[in-house]
Amino acid sequence: MSLPLPQFGKPLRVEAPPAQTRGVRPTHLVDSHGRRIRDLRLSLTDRCNFRCTYCMDPDVRFCRRTELLTEAEMLRLARIFAGFGIDRIRLTGGEPTLYPTLPELIAELSELGMRDIAMTTNGSLATDADLAAWHNAGLHRLSVSLDTLRPDRFTALTRATSSPERVIETVRLAKRVGMHPVKINAVVMRGLNDDELVDFARLARELAVEIRFIEFMPLDSGRRWGREAVVSADEMLEQIEAVFPLRDTSRERTCSPAQRFAFADGTPGGIGIIASVTRPFCNACSRIRITADGKLMPCLFSTAEWDLRTIMREGGSDDDLASTIVEATLAKQAGHTIASPQYQQPDRQMSAIGG
């Protein structure tokens, strides 16, 4: 019998936020559903050295480099977000380790007062020296994407020449240089890798890390997603618990997307379940996203975007940018509506949004 997952999709019972008007910059961001925005996802590039089948079709065209935000533009936006009290930032892509001046960017973000700087990477390119440089510059946490432990599947899934062991070595090296925590993210898809859940749990015990299993979401560039490919959180837990009994260690959830479990026998490591499809947690969302080409997306599934890059390049002031950020935040949708027949997939695929 698998451990129960609580429902997190019920609306919050909160008072409406105070009116926020152009020219008046609030000290923090609150959307129209009463959710405080605390976390910024910043995509450094839309480029990736993988072409994962569930994310990016081989013929996907990247932005021209002139369309991507410059380092100065990213730092300007980060400074404005810091003025709203946001001090947690996650660097994403595409593949963020392709960014040419990554250590310098991390150091600049740290100097802005970002107390928590994290990054999500496919883990295929980082060297020991890279990881040490990023950590010394201020990178605290690392999440590494790894969807299969089998070399043949890895090649077929990523359309790349790396390997699971190369990615796992990045996890080991990141721990060695002092990053904490280091986590592994695995998107679970029926018929592709859902028979590896126990193997991943065993790896979590071996490496003493948390492995987060993510339900397959409709953000693929080929728009071939179907609910039949979704392996539910309940199914995942049932498989893992048949071999490794778990103990629910989740506290009352505020902004974390995962329900967390420890191994009941006390072995280090753990399991996280991100059940975006079957157990949506939109009511606890505290995130907002900036794409590599400078568009603000208040939700991962937003179909509307706010163009911050154009404001900057046409001479807009920081107050203009702040007002647009407030406007976008107030427009943040209540939830993703994946279960609704009216669900509309965003024009961008995951690699062009940043996770």
Does residue 20 register a pLDDT over 60?
no
Does residue 17 register a pLDDT over 50?
no
Percent of the chain with pLDDT over 90: 72
Residue 239: which residues within 8 A CB-CB, separation 6 or more? 194, 197, 198
pLDDT tens digits for 195-228? 999 999 999 999 999 999 999 987 665 667 678 8
Does residue 31 register a pLDDT over 70?
yes
Does residue 151 register a pLDDT over 70?
yes
Does residue 349 register a pLDDT over 60?
yes
Rounded Cα–Cα distance for residues 349 and 223 (Å): 9
Between 123 and 221, where is the model more confident? 123
Question: How would residue 1 be classed by pLDDT, with cut points 50, 70 and 90?
Answer: very low
Residue 20 CB neighbour total at 10 angstroms: 17
pLDDT tens digits for 73-122? 999 999 999 999 999 999 999 999 999 999 999 999 999 999 999 999 99
pLDDT tens digits for 251-286? 744 456 889 999 999 999 999 999 988 887 788 899
The C-alpha torsion from 112 through 135 and 355 to 32, rounded to 10°, is -30
Backbone angles phi, psi at 18, to 5 degrees: -65, 155
Does residue 233 register a pLDDT over 70?
yes
Does residue 7 register a pLDDT over 60?
no
- pLDDT at position 341, please? 63
Which fold does the domain 33-353 belong to in CATH?
A: TIM Barrel (3.20.20)
Rounded Cα–Cα distance for residues 340 and 237 (Å): 25
pLDDT tens digits for 139-150? 999 999 999 999
- pLDDT at position 130, please? 98
Domain borders along the chain are: 33-353
